[in-house]
Structure 1
Amino acid sequence: MPSRPILTATALLSLSLWLTPATAAPGADPFEGDPYQSHPWVDMRKEFLGPTAKAVFDDRVQVRGPAFAEDPMNVPITVSVKDLPGVDRIIVLVDRNPIRKVLEYQPLTALPSVSFRFKLEQASPIRAAARTADGVWHVGGTLVDSAGGGCTVSGATRKDGSWTQTLGLVSARVFDATPIPGEPAETATGSRLRLKVMHPMDTGLVGGIPAFYVNRLSVRDTQDKELLRLQTFEPVSENPVFSFDFPVKPAGALRIVGTDNNGNRIDARLE
């Protein structure tokens, strides 16, 4: 008897991404122009961007990540919006995660860019939607392959119990901007803030461990003016690290405040 071909997880994902539903109306695009032709996209757009919101796919919203996630619990992603004025909010979504919303970022006085790591359950498009002042969502993305399982495994500090000793500790540093190649160093006026918050970031998808994660972070200046606001969700990686860019280096000390979903407060000062 001839053997049957075995479909890998990647092959199955490829099939699910590219096969058009049989129920689609003749001539209609069931994916609404989605370049990944992913079945979850239409419902995701309605749920996270709004049922009547306008969304357009836009190359100016750049999402960079690895082609393959070697560590599905720590997948590095950078979102950068270029030449798109008036961005007031960025939402990061993962089509095939059990928890699809990763974070929501309001740049305020910062630039519309953010870098972070997150947990990936299986191969999936990773999307960023940037809203402009006219209410339109501009969507970009990248496809990351993975062996999977990132959302349903405990982190290292949860396994060894060390999270109880470090919970809520913050380390941060401001770096001067890197000059544009070929331009004099004095033309680099911006800066990058990189911060790390110690937290287990439990998804609630591991037996006996409820969801426990940082849900809000805010960066403020010496006058307590809010420079950026970040809302995070369960898929963000354990002991999360974030990078933010500013057009002008913030003057004086910075204060980083936030909470987790259990009401624990985060409060640190960066001189």
Structure 2
Amino acid sequence: MKQILIASLIVALSQAATAQENPLIDGPSWADLREDFVGDTPLLVADDLFTVDAPYRAHDAATVPIVIAQSAGATPIDHAVVIIDENPAPMAADLTFGSAMHPLKFELRVRVNQYSNVRILADTAEGTFMKGRYVKASGGCSAPASRDPEVALASMGLMRLQQFDDPVQMSGQIRDAQIMIRHPNYSGLQRDQVTQLFIGAHFIDKLEVFQGDEMLFTMEGGISVSENPVFRFSYRENGAPAFHVRARDTEGNVFEETLQKNVES
């Protein structure tokens, strides 16, 4: 029994250490960026409002998962900005959330160009809070695209919905969903692997996701959102049979899709 207790303590301590292994670190970049993003607005301590999960050392610098999560009963986050200090364009995503997204649990994947703080500025009725993680990754913004440009452009705008629970009928239930959009999201720093010429920046800069007529979230995106963007999120079911997704890219292309939910009639 004593050995079991000791083993359990070691595991618990290890998990606690892992959870704290990559907090934000001090650096000169944020001193310059802060004025652009918040000016003189005081930043509040976010310990009890939300958590941010990101890998200490990224497996793939071009698709680094960032998870923002709240516990039930937390003050609603209505707006959040994802900032990657050391990226060429630090603003990765400017997000606005509807009431059905509270309490917030939201994941997106980003590019990290060099070792950097990844910080979240979260707005609530109480003020602006900041939290984040330090991520060891490099080359994410210039990493070669996974597909040939002609193939990538041919499938551009295709969307797919995945849900992680059984069909439900009751409105008000918290559910999980994931939306994937086919788009190369070229950063402008990648080279064509045949010609070795730079591929011009071409990415989704506006995204709107609705549940029926109810807005779930919108995003203004930059070059740091990964290729073939994926968004996983929790939401409160309102009984609408489908999501409506509208995306616009920097070339003026507009993609719209109605994605049927697994809701029982």
In the superposition, the TM-score normalised over structure 1's length comes to: 0.76
Cα pair distance change 1:259/1:65, threshold 3 Å = same
Aligned partner of 2:97 among 88, 107, 117: 107
Instruction: State the alpha-carbon separation in 1 of the partners of residues 113 and 50 from structure 2.
Output: 24
List runs of 5+ in structure 2 lacking aligned partners. Answer: 1-22, 191-196, 261-265
- Which sits farther off after the overlay, 160-169 or 244-253? 244-253
Instruction: State the alpha-carbon separation in 2 of the partners of residues 230 and 173 from structure 1.
Output: 19
Q: Which residue of 2 aligns with 1:22?
A: none
Cα pair distance change 1:81/1:39, threshold 3 Å = farther
| Structure 1 runs of 4+ with >6 Å offset | none
Instruction: State the alpha-carbon separation in 2 of the partners of residues 216 and 173 from structure 1.
Output: 21
Q: Say whether residues 1:213 and 2:211 are aligned partners.
A: no
Q: Which residue of 1 aligns with 2:187?
A: 203
Contact 1:57 1:139 in 2 (8 A): yes
Give 1:35 shift: 5.3
Give 1:113 shift: 2.8
Cα pair distance change 1:250/1:238, threshold 3 Å = farther
Instruction: State the alpha-carbon separation in 2 of the partners of residues 74 and 86 from structure 1.
Output: 27
Q: Identity of counterpart residues, as a percentage?
A: 25
List per-residue Cα deviations over 1:91-113 (Å, max 9, x = no partner).
Answer: 11111111211111111121333
Letter in 1 for 2:88: P
Q: Which residue of 1 aligns with 2:10?
A: none
In the superposition, the TM-score normalised over structure 2's length comes to: 0.78
Aligned partner of 2:233 among 244, 252, 260: 244
Q: Which residue of 1 aligns with 2:163?
A: 174
Letter in 1 for 2:34: R
Instruction: State the alpha-carbon separation in 2 of the partners of residues 107 and 175 from structure 1.
Output: 21
List runs of 5+ in structure 1 lacking aligned partners. Answer: 1-33, 178-185
Instruction: State the alpha-carbon separation in 2 of the partners of residues 53 and 164 from structure 1.
Output: 42
- Which sits farther off after the overlay, 261-270 or 109-118? 109-118
Instruction: State the alpha-carbon separation in 2 of the partners of residues 250 and 68 from structure 1.
Output: 40
Aligned partner of 1:163 among 143, 147, 152: 152
Q: Say whether residues 1:71 and 2:79 are aligned partners.
A: no
Aligned partner of 2:50 among 43, 57, 61: 61
Give 1:69 shift: 1.0
Letter in 2 for 1:174: Q
SS at match of 2:80: strand
Contact 1:195 1:241 in 2 (8 A): yes
Give 1:247 shift: 3.2
Q: RMSD over aligned Cα, in angstroms?
A: 2.2
